[in-house]
Structure 1
Amino acid sequence: MKSGKIVKPRKLSDEKANARKLNRQQLERANDTAKKNQKSQLASPTIPFDPNDHILLVGEGDFSFAHSIVSEHGCADVLATCFDSEDQLLQKYPQAKIHIDYLTSLDQSVLYSVDATKLQQKVIRKGQQWDRIIFNFPHVGGKSTDVNRQVRYNQELLVSFFRAAYPQLSPGGTIIVTLFEGEPYTLWNIKDLARHVGLKVVTSFKFISKAYPEYEHARTLGNIEGGGGWKGEERDARTYIFQLNESEEKQNNAAKKRKADDSSSDDED
C-alpha cells in the first residue's frame, strides 16, 4: 500500500496576505462607521423646527403629528390643517378627536377643508407669515392604478403645493416635505420639481418616526378604506428642506411689500 503524499498548503505571498488583511480592516471600519451612524441617527434625530417657530401643517391625517410636535417638542404656535371637512375627517380617522381635543385645549389652531395647493385662496391668518410649512407624506390617494398616472398626479400635487406655499413664508422660512423612500416615490423627482418653481434644496435627512412619540401614520384613504392597521411609520422615509432661491426671495419680498403698501393705501382712503 502506497503512502499518500502529503501536500502542504501553499503560503500566500506577503503581498496577497497584506492585501487580504487590508480589505478585512477596511470592511470592519466601514461596518463600524455604519453602526455608529445608525446609532447617532437614532440617538439624536434631526428636528427641522424650533419651539418658537410659526408652524403651518398641511395635509394632516389624524393630527397625531401635530399632537406630537406640541406635546413632545414644545411647539407653541401651530396651525394644523387637513384637506377633509370635520365630518369626513372623523369618519376616516375616529382617533383624530383625541388629538384635536388636545391641540385646542392648548390654544393651538385646527382648520378643516384646507387645500394645500390653494393656500393663497384660503384666509388662514390674515398677514401671518410662517417659519415652517410642513407637508408630511403628500399623496393624491387612489386616483389611478396606473403607476405613470399616479406619478404624474403626485408631481402635479407637489408643484402646486410649492407654488402655493412659498409666498406664505417668512424671510428665511422653509418648506418641509417628507416622503417614503424607494419607488414609486423616487420617481416623483421632488428635488427637480422644487427647483422648477424657484426653490433650492437646503438638506435632506432620514425621517425618524420615533422622534414623534404620539405620531402614527394615517393613510390618505382613511382607516377602513385604506386597510386599517397598516404601519407606514415602519417604512424608511426621508425629509427634504426647501428654501426660496435668492432671486425668488427678493421678488417674493417685493411682492409682499407692494401688497402691504396697497393695503395701507386702501385703509387711508
Structure 2
Amino acid sequence: MAKGKKRKIHATNGKHETATKPQGKAAASPATKVREPTIPFHAEDRILLVGEGDFSYAKAIVEHHGCYEIVATCFDSQDVLYTKYDPQAKEHISYLEEEGQTVLYNVDATKLDRNKAVKDGTKFDVVLFNFPHVGGKSKDVNRQVRFNQELLVKFFTSAAPLLADDGTVVVTLFEGEPYTLWNVKDLARHAGLEVERSFKFVAEAYPGYSHARTLGNIEGGGGWKGEDREARSFVFRKKAVEIGKDGRHLSRGGGGGGKRKRGGEEDSSDDEG
C-alpha cells in the first residue's frame, strides 16, 4: 500500500456527489422525486479496482468521492497501457500517485489472491470490476460467452479471499445480450458469493469517467461511447453460514445480515436482491 495517502475534504461534507439535476423547462416539478445514483462504496473504504482501462474511474472516485484507500490495477504493463491510452492514462495515473494511491500493472483478475503486490495482508471492503471482458478472442457468440464466464468465475474465486468480513464484490456489465447470457449471479455462486442487490450504473456520477475499450484509443477504439450505454452493477457478498444442531453447515440468505449497505439507502424500485 502506498504511503502518505491523502483524505480529501469536499464541499459535499462526506456525501456522494450526484449527477447534475435538470434546470429550466426540463427541471422536475417539486412533487417529482429525483433519484440519486447509487454509489457502492464509502469514502473511507479500502477499495481494490480490477481491470482498469485508462484509470479515469479510479481518478473520479478519488477526486469526486473522496476515496483515499485505493489500489487500482490493470492487466497491461505500464508501457503497453501508456501506448494504448495515450495521453490520458499517464495523466490519470500521475494524479492518483500524487494523491498517494497505489497503481499496479500486470495484474491478472483471475489470480488476485496469488499476486504478492495485491495480497499484502490487506483486506478490502470493496473489490470492484467494471465491464469485465476477455476481448475479441472469438467472433462466435457462444464461445465469447463461455470465455467471459470463465473469466468471471476465476475472478470471483480469486477475489473472495481478499474481502474484509463485511466486504463486497461489485461487477458492472452492460445491459442486454450477450451480457445477460453470462448469468453473472450464477457464476458468483460457484465462488461462495451471493447477490445482495443490483442497480443502474450512472456514468455521470463519476465526473471525468469514460469507458475505455480493451483495444485502446486507436485500434478499434472509436465509433461509440460505452458510458452512454445502459449498464447495471451487481453487489455480491460471501454467503453467510451457520452451524445447525446436527453440526452441518446451513447457508443463510440476506447477504448483509443487517449491516450497512454501501452507497446509501437502497432504492427498491431500482435495486433488486
Q: Name the TM tier (shorter chain).
A: 0.7 to 0.9
Cα deviation, 1:165-214, whole Å, max 9, x if unaligned, reads 00000001000000000000000000111122211100000000000011
Corresponding residue of 1:107: 100
- Cα deviation for residue 53 of structure 1 reads 0.2
Structure 1 residue 120, shift from structure 2 partner: 1.4
Q: TM-score normalised to the size of structure 2? A: 0.75
Secondary structure in 2 matching 1:166: helix
Contact 1:205 1:239 in 2 (8 A): yes
Report the counterpart of residue 55 of structure 2 in structure 1.
63
Equivalent residues, number = 212
Any residues of structure 2 matched to 1:198-213 within 5 Å, and which?
198-213=192-207
> How far apart are the structure 1 equivalents of 2:78 and 2:231?
28
Question: 80, 91, 108: which is aligned to 1:88?
Answer: 80
C-alpha contact 2:196 2:236 (8 A) present in aligned 1:
yes
Residue identity matched to 1:172:
D
Question: 1:135-176 deviations in whole A, cap 9, x for unaligned?
Answer: 000000000000000000000000000000000000010000
Give the Cα–Cα distance (whole angstroms) in 2 for the partners of residues 225 and 194 of structure 1: 32
Counterpart code for 2:64: E
CA distance in 1, matches of 2:209, 2:33: 21
Maintained 8 Å contact 2:160/2:191: no
Alignment partners' CA distance in 1, 2:91 and 2:147: 32
Alignment of 1:258-269 (within 5 A): none
- Report the counterpart of residue 218 of structure 2 in structure 1: 224
Alignment of 1:11-90 (within 5 A): 40-41=34-35, 44-90=36-82
Q: SS at the partner of 1:155? A: helix
Is 2:119–2:162's contact at 8 Å kept on the other side of the alignment? Answer: no
Question: 2:178 matched to 1:163?
Answer: no
Residues 96-122 of structure 1 deviation map (CA, whole Å, 9 limit, x = unaligned): 011000000010110000001001111
Distance in structure 2 (CA, Å) of the matches to 1:240 and 1:172: 16
Contact kept, 8 Å, 1:207 with 1:239, in 2: the verdict is yes
CA contact (8 A) 2:113 2:119 kept: no
Given that 2:112 and 2:119 are in contact with CA atoms closer than 8 Å, whether structure 1 keeps it comes out as no
Q: Match of 2:112?
A: 119
Structure 2 spans left out of the alignment, 5+ residues = 1-28, 243-248, 250-273
Q: Which moved more, 1:91-100 or 1:131-140?
A: 91-100
Cα RMSD over matched residues?
Answer: 1.8
Q: Residue 219 and residue 86 in structure 1: after superposition, are their counterparts in 2 closer, same or farther (change >3 A)?
A: same
- 1:39 Cα offset (Å): 6.1
Contact 1:220 1:226 in 2 (8 A): no
Q: Percent identity?
A: 63
Question: Counting helix residues as a fraction of each chain, which structure ranks higher?
Answer: 1
The residue matched to 2:48 in structure 1 has which SS? strand
Normalised to the residue count of structure 1, the TM-score between the two structures is: 0.76
Cα distance per residue 1:37-83 (max 9 Å; x no partner): x9633xx1000100100000010000000000000000010010000
The amino acid of 1:80's aligned partner reads A
